Structure 1
Amino acid sequence: MRFNDAHGGSCSFRSKAIVKKNGVNASTETPPVEFTSADTQTAIAADSWCQTEPIQIAIAKEPADENAVKEFLKSAGRLMLDEMKASMKSLAFDDFIVEDHQVEDNEATKLFTLAFDYFAHFKSPVEGKRDAQETLKLQCTGVSWNATGSVIAVSYGRFDHTGWCNYRSALCLWNIFHHDFNPSKPNLVLETSSGLMCVAHHPTMPAVVAAGTFNGEVIVWNTSLEENLVASSGIGDYFHREPISKLSWVYDATSRDYNIASVSGDGKVLIWQLKDKLGFPVEGYLLCTKAKTKTKGSLLLGGIALAFRPNDRTNKSFIVGTEAGAITRCFANKAAKISTKGEIKWSNNAQRILSMSPQPMDVRRHVETYAKEKKLRDVRVSAVFDSKPDMHALYPSALDFGFESHGGPIYDLVFSPFHGSLFLSCSSDGCIHLYHYLQKNPLITIQVGSNYLYALAWSKTRPLVFAAASEDGKMYIFDLNVNRLSPVTTLSLPETKQRSPGLYCVEFNPRQRNFIACGDGAGLAYIWKLNWRLSNLQPTEMAVLSEIADMRSNSTDTE
């Protein structure tokens, strides 16, 4: 088949003529705008002045006779010192009381009620989805004043649930002296992924605050930074796995800085360094009744309360209250001098943990074997914990001496800020014990009632005044200078329809001597103002405190 070219013809189309569009021009004009100008002129001012003639006053300076001054000080100085010493021993003003403060009617006045609307703050963004936060009411688990006494931190969580914590919480801060202070709106809300069980402000840095969580984490914030969260510890076998019940800032003479001490129901007391971002504890102690033993057969005591002796910068001793009602005095092991010279170099913090170990040579061999397997050039703290040594070989037992026990769990311990050997304890048995650090039995026992006592606080200005927070929603104020068996005043909170929510925490303000704060089970924190008598040093009060410290307990069991 063949194809040939062919011409099929053509066609054309004639375009339509373009129709010319008609256009119309139009214009408009606004009415004229009238302008009016006006001016003014200031009045003429007149200035006048005068000038004085300089007056020169000639002051003749005669040279002092140094010998005469020395003779005068020698003759009058001894007499002045004798008079000052005599006035210190004088009892002339011991019974003097200012009349204006003697007629006070109210022992204390409630100033503020701090509330945090966590339902609105943690509202679920998804409609129709019920969040656990909507049905869970948080409790006030801790209060802490900062170093200046102007900011109070309130931690929120719950004491009455078990298992893993699956609800969010927050640490709220109020500046009570700020111009925009609102008791119902915190100045700052620091959110957390689990409930908080305790809170403690840094003793010298007002913007730094630490909190312990239900899951066993230690969290530190610095509110002066744009990114508030500074550090957070981990969860593991060598860390905490149970709720942290107490935190304490302790001075470390080695680093010349404050570290954080934490205690938990897992039977461990751990020391954390803030400069290491709480990556690993630098010291650890077990509340173990059998030291240097394997895990099998050993008995760990669950810790609840923790207190370090005030003004003791070595921090080699502390006391712990346990779930079983025991109060034990603990001593940190003296660091052993261990040579780590060899093929593998040890870091300073790794050497510190090794020197505190009850079995340092076994731990060293175990860690260095792990380091060689992983081909590590040096041993850091992380390598010590990653090698997973025996916990009883790594952490020593700190138990040293047992005091007379309570009839239930010890919820709080607090040392006197005026006497380093006196401390208080409270328990679920409704008793408060005043102990001497070197005596087994208490010097004074106060039976408050049958309700649980959850917290204690010693006044920062009155050596014989302290407060106790009770399960019945009342705060009991004691003054040992007035009564050694009963409270001198009771601060009650408003009762609900069901019952009065219990008080879980209490703390005196370190700067405002008459301020005291507490928190209850309804999630509210209260700030009270004490009267002059309960917040100012009384005559002979220090002498009475020394007399109490010199008392002997009923039993002859002493150290």
Structure 2
Amino acid sequence: MFTDASSEPVGFRSQLCSNKPEKSSNIQTDEVVYKENETQAIETKDVHTQTIIEQRKKPQVDYQKLAAFLKRVTPGILEDLDEAYGSNAFENYDPGASGEPSTTVKLLAKLNTLEESNNEIKISDITWSSGGGTLSVSHSVVYHETYCDHLSKIKFYDLTKDYQLPIEPKKVLNLNSCVTSLSYHPTEPSIIAAGLFNGDIVLWNLRDETAVTPTQVCTHGDTVSLIHWRPRSINDVSLLVTASRDGYILVHKLTANFTTITQHKRFKIAKEHNPSESTRPRSAGGSRERATEAGLSVTTFDFSTKDPMLFVVGTLCGGLYKCSVDRATPVEGLGNENILDPVVDEYERHEGSVTCVRSSPTRNLFVTSGTDKEIRIYDFAESVIHQTISVDDTIVGLTWLPGIIDVFTAYGAGASIHFYNVTNGKPVTNLKLEMSEKQGTSCLQFNGKRDLVAIGDTKGNLEIWKIPRQPFT
């Protein structure tokens, strides 16, 4: 089917050309055309204004209303001016000074507030007015065997421009019982309240010079331990919180220029009963035996600066209770649903009576003191002791230095005032203060408007000291 065959080769010539065609061309951009346009405002207008002179009309003045208004506001204005008198806001200002603040603690004034020498009477409490220009001093017998029928006085001293105290007070209020707690209203310079040994809570409006009779706020069943003004928070009204050794803490609402007083809440710590209560003498009023129902004798309390609904209560038998205003529950067994138990937690107890509780103005901490000669630092959120400071003498009061962060003072038996740093519990060694009369310190309060501190002792002596502005650490 297939056969082999051979053919002659066939060839052809290559057609490749090595010469390439060339062509030249030129490129030119289009000519750029420029145009200029001038702008000119088409139309302008000038307008002149001229005031029209009108004849002045004589104002119509109701002089009776004006006189009534001036009569109403003048006392308050004069009182505020008196409060501002002697302010030392620029006292240490010196353009040529080196800028280093003074660290010297200086005694400025000293006065015995008793009419005659009496070793049985002490200064029980002192309080500065809201403007810092008036200092009020109350008195009490050092020791009461049973009830109190002593006559007592509250004296008012106006601080002079050079920080001296007049020998005679500008005003004196007479009382039929010893004063245990005294406090000016924090913003109303004419309002002052006092708690008495017989259980009465009374209030004065000092703006009315003719009103020497106090307003009765309430009566506790035993000695008043502490009174405390709360910032306006409920319908813009003032709240006065009072505590007593009868175990009750009462919250009062004051309205209508402090003339209307209503009881807002009534607390009683009923978590435990102190067996020693039954062996103590009769109540301060002497009218009845002590109540047998459960409830601790309240000695002190203070509200948290971080949460206004929380407060800590200290008791006679060493209890420390975390309490809440809005989480209180009715107390069972007393037959009165209006009595509330505010306790929500309990802190580690003191071995002796709790003498003072103070909340830190900047931290979530509070400090306490007791008759066991201990100062303790607690965290609001923890039930155990954060730190303990042992002291040589019993501390009766604690307070924070205004404007100096984390430093608090402790005072009590003995003439020395001690300063501590709350962050580490260590004493502030470069700040020392000691009463010149070497007596036990019964009360102390710093002046919030001036760099001053007032100190009272168990012999009726009153001293004013200047505290340096420099923070101490």
Q: State TM-score, norm by structure 2.
A: 0.69
Deviation per CA, 1:239-266, whole angstroms, max 9, x where unpaired?
x121111111113533312211011111
Q: Helix, strand or coil for the counterpart of 1:307?
A: strand
Q: In the alignment, what sits opposite 1:255?
A: 235
Deviation per CA, 1:25-56, whole angstroms, max 9, x where unpaired?
xxxxxxxxxxxxxxxxxxxxxxxxxxxxxxxx
Deviation per CA, 1:58-107, whole angstroms, max 9, x where unpaired?
xxxxxxxxxxxxxxxxxxxxxxxxxxxxxxxxxxxxxxxx96536x563x
Q: In the alignment, what sits opposite 1:225?
A: 208
Alpha-carbon distance in structure 2 between the residues aligned to 1:412 and 1:249? 17
Is 2:447 the counterpart of 1:452?
Answer: no
Superposition RMSD in Å: 3.0
1:47-58 aligned within 5 A = none
Q: In the alignment, what sits opposite 1:396?
A: 340
Q: In the alignment, what sits opposite 1:4?
A: none
Q: In the alignment, what sits opposite 1:468?
A: 410
What is the identity, as a one-letter code, of the residue corresponding to 2:113?
F
Q: Helix, strand or coil for the counterpart of 1:396?
A: strand
Q: In the alignment, what sits opposite 1:303?
A: 298
Is 2:445 the counterpart of 1:507?
Answer: yes
Alpha-carbon distance in structure 1 between the residues aligned to 2:374 and 2:444? 17
Q: What is the aligned counterpart of 1:408 among 352, 358, 370?
A: 352
The 1:139/1:440 distance shift into structure 2, 3 A limit, reads same
Higher helix share: 1
Q: In the alignment, what sits opposite 1:520?
A: 457
Q: What is the aligned counterpart of 2:319 among 302, 323, 326?
A: 326
Q: In the alignment, what sits opposite 1:531?
A: 468
Deviation per CA, 1:185-239, whole angstroms, max 9, x where unpaired?
222211111100011111111121111000001111121112154511343xxxx
Q: In the alignment, what sits opposite 2:66?
A: none
The 1:172/1:309 distance shift into structure 2, 3 A limit, reads same
Question: Aligned residue pairs: how many?
Answer: 357
Alpha-carbon distance in structure 1 between the residues aligned to 2:334 and 2:298? 21
What is the identity, as a one-letter code, of the residue corresponding to 2:350?
H
**Which segment drifts farther, 396-405 or 486-495?**
486-495
1:108-507 aligned within 5 A = 108-119=105-116, 137-177=120-160, 182-226=165-209, 227-235=211-219, 240-275=220-255, 277=259, 281-289=263-271, 299-310=294-305, 312=307, 315-334=308-327, 357=330, 390=334, 392-419=336-363, 421-449=364-392, 451-480=393-422, 484-488=425-429, 489-495=431-437, 500-507=438-445
Q: In the alignment, what sits opposite 1:554?
A: none
The 1:135/1:172 distance shift into structure 2, 3 A limit, reads closer
Consecutive unaligned residues in structure 1, runs of 5 or more: 1-97, 120-133, 336-355, 360-388, 542-559
Provide the identity percentage.
22
Alpha-carbon distance in structure 2 between the residues aligned to 1:142 and 1:434? 24
The 1:321/1:358 distance shift into structure 2, 3 A limit, reads closer
Q: Helix, strand or coil for the counterpart of 1:461?
A: coil
Alpha-carbon distance in structure 2 between the residues aligned to 1:296 and 1:464? 41
Q: Is the 8 A contact 1:201 1:208 kept in 2?
A: yes
- Return the index of the structure with the highest Cα Rg: 2
Deviation per CA, 1:292-319, whole angstroms, max 9, x where unpaired?
xxx998531111111112265xx43211
The 1:429/1:116 distance shift into structure 2, 3 A limit, reads same
Q: Helix, strand or coil for the counterpart of 1:501?
A: coil
Q: Is the 8 A contact 1:146 1:201 kept in 2?
A: yes
What is the identity, as a one-letter code, of the residue corresponding to 1:520?
D
Deviation per CA, 1:312-348, whole angstroms, max 9, x where unpaired?
5xx432111111111111112459xxxxxxxxxxxxx
Alpha-carbon distance in structure 2 between the residues aligned to 1:526 and 1:299? 42
Alpha-carbon distance in structure 1 between the residues aligned to 2:221 and 2:291? 19
Q: Is the 8 A contact 1:416 1:463 kept in 2?
A: no
Q: In the alignment, what sits opposite 2:39?
A: none
Alpha-carbon distance in structure 1 between the residues aligned to 2:370 and 2:138? 22
Alpha-carbon distance in structure 1 between the residues aligned to 2:136 and 2:335? 35
Q: Is the 8 A contact 1:288 1:398 kept in 2?
A: no
- TM-superposed CA distance for 1:447, in Å, is 1.4
Q: Is the 8 A contact 2:185 2:191 kept in 1?
A: yes
The 1:105/1:201 distance shift into structure 2, 3 A limit, reads closer
Alpha-carbon distance in structure 2 between the residues aligned to 1:331 and 1:412? 19
Q: State TM-score, norm by structure 1.
A: 0.59
What is the identity, as a one-letter code, of the residue corresponding to 2:264?
V
